[in-house]
Amino acid sequence: MYTDTSDAPEPIALRLEAVSKSYRTGTARVPALREVSLSVPAGTFTAVMGPSGSGKSTLLQCAAGLDTPDSGRVLLGSTDLSRLRRRTLPAFRRDHVGFVFQSYNLLPQLSVARNVILPLLLGGRSVEQDWLQYVLEAVGLTGLEERKPQELSGGQQQRAAIARALITRPDAVFADEPTGALDSAAARQVLDLLRHTVTDLGQTVVMVTHDPAAACSADNVLFLADGQLDGSMANASVRDITERVAYLGER
């Protein structure tokens, strides 16, 4: 069980402690997360599932430091994100967090290689050529380095985005519906790639998805409903997950 922070296998890559977040719509405040606590062991692949509006994207953004919770703590590696100042948070995120967006979000004016090394450039860090080549090969983009993103297919673009997330050797890679815009073959490639980075590179990956087929690539699946954690499954099959999701939706 990952809801309990005490007995999780160590080391822990990500820990959320009683994280709450609400949004203002008009005059009312709508809670998106209600006192969520969880921890994710290093070197594992975690999927977060839940119906629309369950708060799964908010969870991911708070965990990745893209958003700040109203209360509670987020610990990434050994760093307490809530303690970081507004000014130092971007730099920390750049160097320690990888983020993969549903819509790839590559810069059209930069070549694939430049897009991949952009976090290093922004951080003023030098590029290790071997590591870059390794990552590009791992995502299957060797030979396409000088292309512009818009000259690639959707699957290739998402793999370039994953390479960008990996290049800094982050504490964790967060992926928000990474296969949402892809056909099933391209989606499979992307999921295999994420699995590969966990298994072979020892990366920690947290992925939000609504697709049971995508979620079953993960080691663990966390279910979210109404802003609260609602159980988890380890090494689940597509069928298990589908049933569970259907149950979540019925409630």
In angstroms, what is the minimal distance from the CB of 110 to other proteins?
Answer: 5
Residues 122 to 181 in contact with other proteins, rule: CB under 8 A: 122-124, 126, 148-150, 164
Helix (H, G, I), strand (E, B) or coil at 217: coil
Of the ranges 116-124, 178-186, 196-204, 237-245, which one interacts with other proteins (CB under 8 A)?
116-124
Identify the H or E element spanning 138: helix 129-138
Residue 29 or 239 with smaller CB distance to other proteins = 29
Dihedral class, residue 65 (left if φ above 0, else alpha if ψ from -120 to 50, else beta) = left
CB neighbours of 220 closer than 8 A, spacing ≥ 6? 2, 44, 45, 46, 47, 232, 233, 234, 235
Nearer to other proteins, 114 or 210 (CB): 114
CB of 231 vs other proteins, minimal distance in Å: 31
| 36 exposure class (CB count in 10 Å sphere: 0-12, 13-18, 19+) | buried
Applying CB under 8 A, does 105 fall inside the site for other proteins? Answer: yes
Per rule CB under 8 A, is residue 183 in the interface with other proteins? no
Considering only residues 55 to 84 of the shown chain, the ones binding other proteins according to CB under 8 A are 66
- Contact set for other proteins, span 188-247 (CB under 8 A): none
